[in-house]
Structure 1
Amino acid sequence: MPTQDPDALGTNVLTIALIGPDQQRRNGIAITLAGLQSGLTREFTAYPELDEVPRILHDGYDVIMVDLDSNPEYALDLIEAICGGGSPTVMVYSGRTDPELLVRCMRAGAREFLTQPFEANTIAEAMVRASVRKPVVKPAKKSIGKLFVFLGAKGGSGVTTLACNFAVSLATETGQNSLLIDLHLPLGDAALDLGITAQYSTVNALQNAARLDSNFLSKLLTKHDSGLSVLAAPGKFAQSQTTHDDVDKLLAVARQDFDYVVVDAGTRLDLADSSLFDQATIIYLITQVSIPELRNSNRLVSEFFTKTSTKLEIVLNRYMPRSLGVDEDHITKALTRPATWQIPNDYATARRTQNTATPLSLEDTPIARVIKQMARTAAGLPPAAEKKKKFGLF
């Protein structure tokens, strides 16, 4: 998908959820919306379950458009649930005009009733009315979100894999608003690891730092199936001349809107001059048990983390205690402290999930269990209950 200029979004851009099991009617609406350039649209190809409505509302859509004809009675229940739980403008679209259903839709809370053929002018006018109803400012959060930074002692340490899976675990284990920011520029791979295609990137955010606010940032994000929001690195190599002030602005805006912000910093030590490390709740230094990486880790801890030592947690990735060649005492001495986390080595599982863009943390494997525990500990949650093995199974 080609990258669009975020200036085209405008200040009153609407985020739209288009819900419709009938592909022909849904496509008719989607094509008209694309022609109007009235907002960013996400299509749902089936009616969501009613218990999924809170999650949809949590995504903050300005407009939710619901197909009435595929199942009118269920669609009415869905409209009522949406209107009762949030403040988006609900529009109903149908292939026929039925005065009785029109009245029932309005009673359920729908503000617009659109019928085929879907005229561009009619939909444009409905979107203008929705834009007028849109809140100008989002309610302020009571406190800023926690910031978790993943940094590698050396390239290839597995920073992106751990950052992505940690972020997914945060979103799924806590159910709270979580954001992953890929600052491993210009070649970050978070989107690739998560199997998502991002229309906008971290570069768009940093290059527009002067105008960056909650509304603008929300238009740049891509949603993962886990509920995690992602600000990806650009899909193509992009030259970006940004300042540490730009990074600070991005982090400040992100923490206003999200309970948890996870940053994949790769091996970017230049970010030490920004507020990234100082403001971090936890800094995860990712290393492996090899002489070059332990040496790098020692130098990083001594140079950058003497003042923030209480925030620093060292993660030994691809850990194989029986074939290290270096005992734990020497590891602790090299790191100047014991490692907080040990991620077991399971190259086959890690490679398989990368190739299929399936987060490790969504499976039940030794690696997933450690990452899930990292996320739960960071969020202040108790340890997850271990699943008991069934008799005779190993």
Structure 2
Amino acid sequence: MKRVIRLAVVDPNDVTRAQLKNLLLGVDTVWLEAECSRYEFFMDVAMQTQPDIALVTLDSNQAAALDTIAKLRQQVPACSVLAVSSSQEGSLILQAMRNGAQEFLSIPLSLEDFMMALERVRHSGQSGSDEDEVRDSQVITVAGVNGGVGSTCVAVNLACVLAHNPKNSVALIDLDLALGDADVWLDIIPDYTIQDVAENISRIDYSLLKRSLTKHDSGLFLLPRPVNLDNTFHLGAEELRRVVALLKATFTHLIIDVSKSYNNMEMAAIGMSNHVMLVTQMDLPCLRNVVRLIQYFDTLESIGDKLQVVLNRFGLSDNQISYNKALDTIGREVFWKIPNDYATMVESRNNGVPLIMQAPKAKLTRSYVEMAEKISEGEVSTEKESSGGKKTVFRFLSRNK
């Protein structure tokens, strides 16, 4: 599986640099970390940003460009170098390779040639660590089908369970810009919000975005909704895509908690996701909305297959619609059933402490842990008790016992 690659470009030619940027923006596995218009300044940029790949154009000044490639290989050895030129002279190609370039590509650069070069660099083991090459960043959007179904509860507790595993790094974005309350669930008073990020989107980089996140004791990083209701604040779909792309380059899991509006921004989040969890309860209005949303998403390319229906507060009362009737109404299998445990959930919410820390042994918490394991396809380890053969809470919970 592929991770997002951070790439830096140096090209003194404004026209070709713009063409390269436009090509890169169409590749969701690549994050344009930095661009530079002067060869003599690029080493400072590379030392500061530590990109996975440097793309160096040669045409403006071949001697300076070749010198830059040599310095990159010496001073930033973890960075792979792609040389790009309109010239195909054998002596130039040979010198670029001798100076440390892994690939030599032609201008105008085609998307196919660029993607093939990326694959070759990946397989050479010179771009990023082996672990990064194996692990993909998963984007999970959690969406409620109605108010009060517990979608934020699911998003927060799933994120905290994933973050509790030391192998994972997890970020949560609260995209309910008006009434989101993920910060309340985590008892966090943030210094920065998504509004600060959006207002600096033109100059956002790796370090600035990381500083905008608030870290919770569970290990989760939160990017909360704006502090105040502000009708002038707007976060567009393209701005969100930039934020998500950068977070994917940093975290193994990204959880996005959306509102019930399903606007362009939230649909962009859904489109970028590996999993779209529709959270519902087993009453008629909720199930009706599940059907409506499934019918709508099935008309959109590549979204219908991502949908995963999650029944929250399963077993709430005998007055609920039966499970078999709910399945008939929905018309597809349910991905997960979260058991009803109102007392445990209310205590966790009112204390601002996630279930994994508040009640690690509760049946409700175990359900979230098992759901996280299923989503992560075995990344969250399990183990069996040595006596009796019964399954225990997962290995990474053992320190809480």
Q: What TM-score does the superposition give when structure 1 sets the normalisation length? A: 0.61
Amino acid at match of 1:264: D
CA contact (8 A) 1:177 1:258 kept: yes
d(CA) in 1 for partners of 2:208 and 2:334?
Answer: 39
Contact map agreement 1:318 1:345 (CA 8 A) in 2 = yes
Structure 2 unaligned spans of 5+:
1-43, 53-131, 385-390, 394-401
Match status 1:217 vs 2:209: yes
| Residues 257 and 301 of structure 1, relative CA distance in 2, 3 Å threshold | same
Q: Which of 335, 338, 342 is the matching residue for 1:340? A: 335
Is contact 2:297-2:304 (8 Å) kept? Answer: no
For structure 1, which segment, 174-183 or 140-149, has the greater mean C-alpha deviation from structure 2 after superposition? 140-149
Distance 1:338 1:264 in 2: 23
One-letter amino acid matched to 1:387:
T
**Is structure 2 residue 269 aligned with structure 1 residue 276?**
yes
Matches within 5 A, 1:96-245: 135-140=47-52, 142=133, 145-239=137-231, 240-245=233-238
Report the Cα offset of residue 340 of structure 1.
1.2
In structure 1, the partner of 2:30 is none
Indicate whether 1:287 and 2:199 are aligned: no
Which residue in the other structure is 2:257 paired with?
264
Q: What CA distance in whole angstroms lies between the structure 1 residues aligned with 2:203 and 2:239? A: 11
How many Å apart are 1:329 and its aligned residue? 2.3
In the TM superposition, what whole-angstrom CA distance separates every residue of 1:331-357 from its partner, at most 9, and x where no partner exists? 012212121111111111111111111
Q: Give the Cα–Cα distance (whole angstroms) in 1 for the partners of residues 280 and 247 of structure 2.
A: 27
Instruction: Select 1:370's aligned residue among 367, 372, 377.
Output: 367
Q: Tell me which residue corresponds to 1:127.
A: none
SS at match of 1:331: helix
CA, structure 1 residues 173+273, in 2 after alignment: closer, same or farther (shift >3 Å)?
closer
Tell me the SS of whatever aligns to 2:48. coil
- The sequence identity of aligned pairs, in percent, is 28
Q: What is the match of residue 377 of structure 2?
A: 380
Classify the secondary structure of the residue corresponding to 1:136: helix
With over 3 angstroms needed to count, the CA separation of the structure-2 counterparts of 1:134 and 1:176, relative to structure 1, is farther
Q: Distance in 2 between matches of 1:380 and 1:229?
A: 22
SS at match of 2:285: helix
What is the match of residue 358 of structure 1?
353
SS of 1:375's equivalent? helix
Aligned to 2:61: none
Alignment CA distance shift 1:293-1:233 (3 Å): same
Q: Distance in 2 between matches of 1:151 and 1:180?
A: 13
TM-score (normalised: structure 2): 0.60
| RMSD of aligned alpha carbons | 2.3
Please report how far the alpha carbon of residue 206 of structure 1 lies from its aligned counterpart in structure 2 after TM superposition. 2.2
What 5-or-longer segments of structure 1 have no aligned partner?
A: 1-131, 389-394
- Separation in structure 1 between the aligned mates of residue 353 and residue 224 of structure 2, nearest angstrom: 17
Do 1:248 and 1:276's aligned partners in 2 also have CA atoms closer than 8 Å?
yes
SS in 1 for 2:176: coil
Contact 1:152 1:286 in 2 (8 A): yes
* DSSP 3-state at the match of 2:256: strand
Secondary structure of the residue aligned to 1:188 is coil
Residue type at the aligned position of 2:202: A
> How far 1:298 moved relative to its partner?
0.5
Query: Aligned equivalents of 2:288 and 2:159: distance in 1?
Result: 28
Is 1:330 the equivalent of 2:325? Answer: yes
1:148, 1:263 within 8 Å by CA — same for their partners in 2? yes
Structure 1 residues 267, 135: closer, same or farther in 2, change over 3 A?
farther
1-side partners of 2:344 and 2:295: how far apart? Answer: 34
Change in Cα spacing, 1:279 to 1:136, as seen in structure 2 (3 Å) is: same
Structure 1 250/273 Cα, relative in aligned 2: closer, same or farther at 3 Å? same
Alignment of 1:52-63 (within 5 A): none
From 296, 304, 316, the equivalent of 1:309 is: 304
- Equivalent residue of 2:263, what SS? helix
Deviation at 1:227, TM superposition (A): 1.1
- Counterpart contact for 1:166–1:372, Cα < 8 Å: yes
